[in-house]
Structure 1
Amino acid sequence: MEEVPFEDRRVPLTEIDWGRSAWWLPPLTRAVQSAFTMTNVVFAMVGVWLIESGFVIAQNLFHPAILIPTQPEGQEFRRESLAIVLSTLPNRFQQLSPETWGLNELAYVSFCLVWIVAGLGFFGGILARRSLVFLGQQTVAPWGESISLVARRLWSILWLPGFYLIALFAVLLPVFVLGFIARLGSFGLSVAGVLLLILFVPLLFSVARILINSILCFPLAVCCIGAETKADTFEGVSRSEAYFFPRFNFTLVIVLALSISGWVGAQVFTLGIELAEQLILAIFRWSAATSQNSFFQTYANIISRRCMDGYWFSFFWAGAAAVYLILRKSVDHTELDELDGPDAATKSALPPIPSQEVMKGDTSQEVSAKDEASEEQT
């Protein structure tokens, strides 16, 4: 048999199918693009302003004795950004003690929590829905469709904290019982103290797990309610926890990549906003032939800062949508573009929530199932 020269041999060319190998890459790279949209930034800016205004409204309505921030005389009250409010909120709640806990403080705390959940649920749900469509189906969702879908499911979003509050009440019920036992004199106080020390470590881990779930899984639950067919509160809570904790390390890598891209996008966005603001002010001063523009400049600076807050709020929900889509495909093997909507081709629900044993699974069964599916298609 005659040997074929090497230069005449036909070598088959192969290329990497990035759509199958790196299917998680498009949602990560397009999250910043979704947050850059002007309509999303303006809508998020309004949402942040309304959420912050709820604290001022609650203070004016209930006048709590401790939680009102004191301001030096002659200075106007400056509304904090949403990040500062959320970071200082636990410290403000920590100031409450049994000696100072009254109806005004209880009403203030309840009003703030309901206001925050309602604001995050409505504005965040709409932004998450638009980001889900943009990242999964690579198209732009109409505002009317997104607002209508989130408005119909807003009650399910508002009930998300209720699940965790019920769980907290069930876990902390022994603490209330021990507290009443401690009122029965010195003997009751000793018995309650010993029992509380015995139960302290299990209670500590249980309460910490519930609080972590309520904070970290809330954005994923909102995305689930806004994405799936006939999704409700139980569906959002169950799937968010089933997606997040079994893929915890994978989620950390995704969040780290999103944080880096979001920070870079924020620097570019801030640079563009500041340069545009200075250019607009310079042209206005030149055309008006005056430098007396303190009123316009003051409000221009406020709007510019609000735009930056709106970017971060919009990017947060775009990132949550990206994480949800990636985790959903990683766990349920559901395609990114399978979303509920009026134009959806099929109204199919997600598969049952997998357990830990099923997710560890037998890889040979998965491979054989994929081979059978490919043979049926051929």
Structure 2
Amino acid sequence: MNRKRPLEAGADNGGTPVKLPFFRRLGFKLAVFTACGILLVGLFTLIYMSTIYRGVVDQINTDRSHMALVTMETVFGDYELRSKKAADVVSSATAVVDAVKGGNKADVLSAVNGVIDTVQLDVDFINVTDARGNVITSTLDSGAGDSAVDKSGIPAALAGQTVTHTGADAQAQLGIRTDTPVKNAQGDVIGVISAGYSLVKPDVVDRLKKMTGNEFTVFIGDTRANTTIIKDGERVVGTTLDPKIADAVLGKKTVYLGQADILGAPYATAYQPILDIDGNAIGVYYLRRPHLGRERADGQVGRHIRGDRAGADRGCDFGTAGFCAAGHIEAGCRHVQGRL
């Protein structure tokens, strides 16, 4: 029995063409390939743009941290100028010179306070040291009788120099100060006036937070001594730096700008060593703020950072790629050039 062979696709069937199924037609295949190509191009474009976006966001976060450090240096530069002015005024006052010559604590303190009231000085502290390097008195009412001869700046001042620096002592703990000699009529050094600003006062870090939007912390050595970070209504002090960070910043004296995960949330962070007059690392400035990506999610981008130098409010939108440079930032850029 003969069986008929099935017709091949497209073969003549009595003059009637055979249609291929839709999914086997050339047009369908081209459409599928085109769609797949578009999807792949779109996917690669999305990945590329996502990578670019992350890179831009990371750079903005780094730039914002750097600008916050510049602002900090500007504020501290102003403290340096004002501490020098105060030290010069007090050390040259006749009443102070006579009191230091006499060596009586009460007389010295009275003379210093008289100058402060007359000139309206706003420094946080003034320490007075005798020619042997012993503290006669302090407006902080502590440390009288302590030896300061080995403290940074005091030896230079006893040698006749005026030095402005960041240093630590029993009176101010950690501060920006100027040490200047007190000289008698013959030009002999009979003591030292140290005037300056404490870095452990909450007002210091609160001001910087207001200006930059960052949380600020000051470490003395590796111990947190001043901060804007609040927990249970109290400032978080007394904690210590992570040993790895302490080694990098205190041990190697390097500035670190980067990111960190804190309780599952991303933050842009910066650590800068505090160097004394001899170049020793005696502490750390630490700042942090929410990562730009988190701020965007929280709807916080565009928040203006306020500055209060010279009594004026100047705003900088650090939530965008562009940065403004008001007068206090320009001064800061000059001040920290070569230090960061």
TM-score relative to the length of structure 2: 0.32
Larger % of helix: which?
A: 1
Larger % of strand: which?
A: 2
Tell which has more relative contact order, 1 or 2 (C-alpha 8 A, sep 6+): 1
TM-score relative to the length of structure 1: 0.30
